[in-house]
Amino acid sequence: MPSLGPKPLQGFGVTFGNMFKKVTTESYPEDKKATKPRYHGRHVLNRHPDGLEKCVGCELCAWACPADAIYVEGGDNTEEARFSPGERYGAIYQINYLRCIFCGLCVEACPTRSLTMSNDYELADDNRQDLIFTKEQLMAPLLPGMEQPPHPMRLGDHEQDYYVGREPIKQTAGAAAEAHSVPPAATAPASGDDIGADADEGGTALGETRR
């Protein structure tokens, strides 16, 4: 169907149609808009509860990145200088935010839940070199109870203790007798509400950003 009216007026149709609509104005950066909980923002390298790094330098995140934005070099842990519970750790870790497309495939590839994505979206800069983030910029801050690596393993004697927990200690005969002498009320199982609360409290490890 042919359009009616002069050609210039037809060209300004979209302009006139939006001219009197209400304008949405955001006072950024004074008023920052909250992101969705699962927003893909700046990456974070998480820590174990004792402060050791979760990254083991496996480079799977770099292999999974479709934009080739991640560079990792692994290093060997020693008894004198231990940075992670495993044999290796991420000695060099860089993310080039000039290339990153924030797809999250690196997070899916990480076997130790070391790499997650935060809600931080303020990454603009006028210097290209400053948009290549190093390991020091990506590491999660030390929380109370954490110790700056390098240091020995505090949560167990083996790497498995950090992922599957330590084996339960066998009770002695005296401890077992004491356990049987405790009144039933003190050993009653927790209610469903208590179990749910414990699950919520323990669902995210210290220093880890939930995604």
Is residue 54 classed exposed, middle or buried when 0-12, 13-18 and 19+ CB atoms within 10 A define those classes? buried
What CATH number should be reported for the domain holding residue 47? 3.30.70.3270
Instruction: State residue 164's pLDDT score.
Output: 80
pLDDT tens-digit profile of 163-199?
A: 886 554 444 444 444 444 444 444 444 444 443 444 3
Q: Is 135 a domain residue?
A: yes
* pLDDT tens for each residue of 35-44: 999 999 999 9
Q: What per-residue confidence (pLDDT) applies to 101?
A: 97
Is the model more confident about 154 or about 10?
Answer: 154
- Which pLDDT belongs to residue 12? 83
* In a domain? residue 19: no
- The rounded distance, in Å, linking the Cα atoms of 22 and 173 is 78
pLDDT digits (tens, 9 = 90+) for 118-140: 999 999 999 999 999 999 999 99
Share of the chain above pLDDT 70, in %: 75
Query: In this structure, are residues 69 and 99 in contact, taking their beta carbons and an 8 Å threshold?
Result: yes
Decide if 144 is inside a domain.
yes
Does the pLDDT of residue 50 top 80, yes or no? yes
Give 14 or 61, the one with higher predicted confidence: 61
Strand 70-76, strand 88-96: pairing: antiparallel
**How many structural domains is the chain composed of?**
1
Q: What is residue 166's predicted lDDT score, i.e. its pLDDT?
A: 58
- Is 95 part of a structural domain of the chain? yes
Residue 150 lies in a domain: yes
Q: What is the residue range of 112's domain?
A: 41-158
How far apart (Å, rounded) are the C-alpha atoms in residues 50 and 207? 10
Q: At residue 209, does pLDDT exceed 50?
A: no
Question: What does the mean pLDDT of the chain come to?
Answer: 81
Task: For the chain, give the percent of residues with pLDDT over 90.
Answer: 57
Q: Which residues pair with 75 in a beta bridge?
A: 89
Burial label, 44 (beta-carbon count in 10 A; 0-12, 13-18, 19+)? buried
State residue 198's pLDDT score: 43
Assigned domain for 126 exists: yes
The pLDDT of residue 3 is: 62
List the one residue out of 65, 47, 39 whose CA is nearest residue 120: 39
Taking the C-alpha atoms of residue 10 and residue 119, their distance in angstroms, rounded to an integer, is: 43
14 is a domain residue: no
Q: Is the residue at 8 inside a domain?
A: no
